[in-house]
Amino acid sequence: ISNSLSECVRRGVSLLVRDSRGCSALHVSAQKGHAELLGFILQPGSKVLLDLTDREKGDTALHKAASEKHHAACRLLVGAGASLEKTNFQGKTPADVAKGDSELVTFLSTKQHTSTTQEDLETAV
């Protein structure tokens, strides 16, 4: 699958392309837990792509990975800089939609607290 995707990108297909629901390749890969594809998509390092929301629920790729409890996908997305604070149309963060998986909720909540603290420190300087 990643060969097909890399071939499409090589031919000029943008990773920003979305389907009728507003989902990009990043959304779908995150929801399905395809860590290898996520790694490929995240290589270009587009922050814009990380926080795109779908049209149905306002979910980012991190929301989708968290709701499906895909730990590896969540770690990749967080490591790439996906927003932990962005809320979907129901006002839920990725940590909120991970409810039921205490390990994942803890990871997302701890990272959220760390990133907020880091931003506060940077602002103070």
**Mean local confidence (pLDDT), 77-97:** 95
- pLDDT for 106 equals 95
29 alpha-carbon distance from chain centroid: 10
Task: Tell me the C-alpha distance between 74 and 10, whole Å.
Answer: 26
pLDDT band at 125 (very low <50, low <70, confident <90, very high): very low
Task: Return the domain boundaries, the chain.
Answer: 2-124
CATH 1.25.40.20 fits 2-124, yes or no: yes
Q: Look at the chain and count its residues.
A: 125
Q: For all residues of the chain together, what is the average pLDDT?
A: 84
Full DSSP string of 27-91: HHHHHHT-HHHHHHHHTT--HHHHT---TTT---HHHHHHHTT-HHHHHHHHHHT--SS---TTS
**Mean local confidence (pLDDT), 21-36:** 88
pTM for the full predicted model: 0.72
